């Protein structure tokens, strides 16, 4: 069973619909027990990083998410809060990834970054098995994770940024796989099929 974390914001219903369409066994939850009993975890996004971290603290999930050894996929804000800090709300993150999120420069590009954008694969990874390089995924973000050693894919919006990351059992995607058609469903399915 996949624990789909419900922290009172985000696009949990959209991710649930995508999981349902690929016949995934999931449970929408914010229960520590359910998360511990699950095989994998999906942390959906859309929202503000500072609010998200506050909600995780209120739900007593911060330390649990930091020490998890099972696969966890963060989507959009779910990926951003994996960083040490977020400039959105100037808040501490989970500290899984080094560094801080940053905001796109509104004097240089349209903010928020909304719509379809190309993803360039940087490293071979099971998350992108069966997906062509330079395929389009759907984005809705004002903040981004800068390129780092854990980036497995990148995208560009005025500058190149991390489109996907992997560190140990933690995976993150800045785009919204649940809104990205067949390629997005393939990413979700690849995550679900991780051994």
Share of residues in the chain with pLDDT > 70 (%):
100
Rounded Cα distance, 95 and 152, in Å: 18
Spans of all domains in the chain: 2-192
Catalytic residues, by residue number, are: 76, 176, 178
Please name the fold of domain 2-192.
Answer: Rossmann fold (3.40.50)
Task: Kindly tell me if the per-residue pLDDT of 46 is higher than 80.
Answer: no
Maximum distance among all alpha carbons in the chain?
46
pLDDT for 132 equals 94
Rounded Cα distance, 92 and 37, in Å: 27
Binning pLDDT at 50, 70 and 90, where does residue 74 land?
very high
Mean pLDDT of 87-112: 93
Rounded Cα distance, 165 and 149, in Å: 9
Binning pLDDT at 50, 70 and 90, where does residue 95 land?
very high
Per-residue pLDDT reduced to its tens digit, 8-38:
877 899 999 999 999 999 999 999 999 999 9
Q: Where are the alpha helices (DSSP H) in the chain?
A: 12-21, 32-37, 49-58, 62-67, 77-80, 181-192
Instruction: Measure CA of the first residue to CA of the last residue in the chain; give whole Å.
Output: 13
- Report the mean per-residue pLDDT for the chain: 95
Mean pLDDT of 82-96: 91
Per-residue pLDDT reduced to its tens digit, 136-164:
999 999 999 999 999 999 999 999 999 99
pLDDT for 89 equals 77
Instruction: Return the residue matching tokens 């999981």.
Output: 19
Cis peptide bond N-terminal to 112, omega within 30: yes
Residue 106: partners with Cβ closer than 8 Å, 6 or more residues away: none
Rounded Cα distance, 136 and 124, in Å: 17
Instruction: Return the residue matching tokens 């996004």.
Output: 45
Q: How do strand 170-173 and strand 72-75 relate by DSSP bridges?
A: parallel
Q: Identify any residues that bridge with 85 across adjacent strands, giving them in sequence order.
A: 92, 100
Rounded Cα distance, 53 and 94, in Å: 8
Give pTM, 2 decimals.
0.96
């Amino acid at each position: 069973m996949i624990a789909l974390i419900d922290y009172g914001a985000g696009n949990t219903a959209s991710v649930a619909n995508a999981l349902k369409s690929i016949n995934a066994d999931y449970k929408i939850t914010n229960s520590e027990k359910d998360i511990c009993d699950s095989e994998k975890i999906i942390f959906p996004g859309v929202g503000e990083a500072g609010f998200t971290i506050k909600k995780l603290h209120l739900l007593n999930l911060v330390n649990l998410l930091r020490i998890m050894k099972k696969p966890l996929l963060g989507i959009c804000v779910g990926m951003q809060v994996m960083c040490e800090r977020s400039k959105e709300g100037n808040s501490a993150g989970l500290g899984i990834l080094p560094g801080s999120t940053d905001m796109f420069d509104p004097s240089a590009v349209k903010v928020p970054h909304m719509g379809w954008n190309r993803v360039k694969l940087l490293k071979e990874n099971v998350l992108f098995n069966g997906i062509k390089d330079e395929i389009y995924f759907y984005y809705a973000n004002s903040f981004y994770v800068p390129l780092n050693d854990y980036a497995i894919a990148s995208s560009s919006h005025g500058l190149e940024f991390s489109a996907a990351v992997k560190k140990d059992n933690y995976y993150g995607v800045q785009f919204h796989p649940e809104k990205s058609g067949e390629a997005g469903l393939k990413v979700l399915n690849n995550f679900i099929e991780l051994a």
